[in-house]
Amino acid sequence: MSAWQPPVTGIAEVFHARFTEHAYPAHVHDTWALMILDGGRVDFALDGERHGLGVSDTVVLLPPGVSHDGRTVTEAGFRKRVLYLDASVLPERLTGAAVDTPLLADRALRERVHGLHLALAERDPFEAQSRLAFVRERLHRRLAGRAAEGPGTGTGPGQVPVPAARVAVRLRELLDARVAEGITLAEASAELGHLHPTHLIRSFKAAYGLPPHAYLTGRRVELARRLLLAGMGPADAATAAGFYDQAHLTRHFGRHVGTSPARFARSGRL
């Protein structure tokens, strides 16, 4: 079992667990619980109605303030990953829709939630913010029955739509100016006229072929390379380039460069 509070606005807690013999008593949360099952089966009651789930493309969404329980079904138990989301992600007005349909059979949504968990495990807040924006968008569409953010431009009422190419260029300039310290999607949205995060991400990917979090990671690897060749140690280079820690740098450095930061640094001193 593991649980932590990530530095990502909207996510109160991440919880990964495997239970072989466990039954939750009836209880309520003050947050939304978004769960995917990785193994086994689970049975739960929400607002007095029982539901069952095995490993599938289905996502469980339990609303705040509504009583529910949970229990193992087989001897093998179950493995789950849960995100506890606050009202900035899903408003309370969607509670009724969630009570009516707590099981969301949606492969695209499950893949988005899985990708968000991977980003959170990597301790990459910017990627997690990006992936959370798309999870939120999908949940709103399922619960509200429409795209909650309005037209594809991502602009608010009365705003003049900004061409996607211009959005991409301006976002790239922001990322280039803040490689090490980074920027949140909320900050980028405010800087660029309060455009919706998913519009920012789609515009950037259309222009440059990769999402902004991947672009920023690449720029950070480039910065780390320069710092390593200048004689800085891998641990210091990692934090100076904006990575969570040396292990975080090492994972991405290997993917981008094909070797470890330490070996790369030694090669520069030969």
Residues 115-156: tens digit of each pLDDT:
999 999 998 999 999 999 999 999 999 998 743 444 345 554
CA distance 189 to 228: 33
In 3-state terms, what secondary structure has residue 25? Answer: strand
3-state secondary structure of 61: strand
Segment (H or E) for 185: helix 185-191
pTM above 0.85, yes or no: yes
Q: What local confidence, expressed as pLDDT, does residue 269 receive?
A: 60
Q: What is the pLDDT of residue 147?
A: 39
Q: Of all residues in the chain, what percent carry a pLDDT higher than 70?
A: 93
Q: Which three-class secondary structure state does DSSP give residue 90?
A: coil
Q: Residue 155, SS3? A: coil
Q: pLDDT tens across 235-262, in order?
A: 999 999 999 999 999 999 999 999 999 9
Is 112 in contact with 141 (CB distance < 8 Å)? no
- Report the range of poorest mean pLDDT among 128-132, 159-163, 164-168, 189-193: 159-163
* Encoded tokens for 128: 């997690």
- % of the chain at pLDDT higher than 90: 77
> Is the pLDDT confidence value at 159 over 90?
no
What whole-number distance in Å separates Cα of residue 111 and Cα of residue 101? 19
Set out the domains of the chain in order of their start, with CATH numbers.
2-144 (2.60.120.10), 164-209 (no CATH), 214-267 (1.10.10.60)
Which H helix or E strand runs over 221? helix 212-229
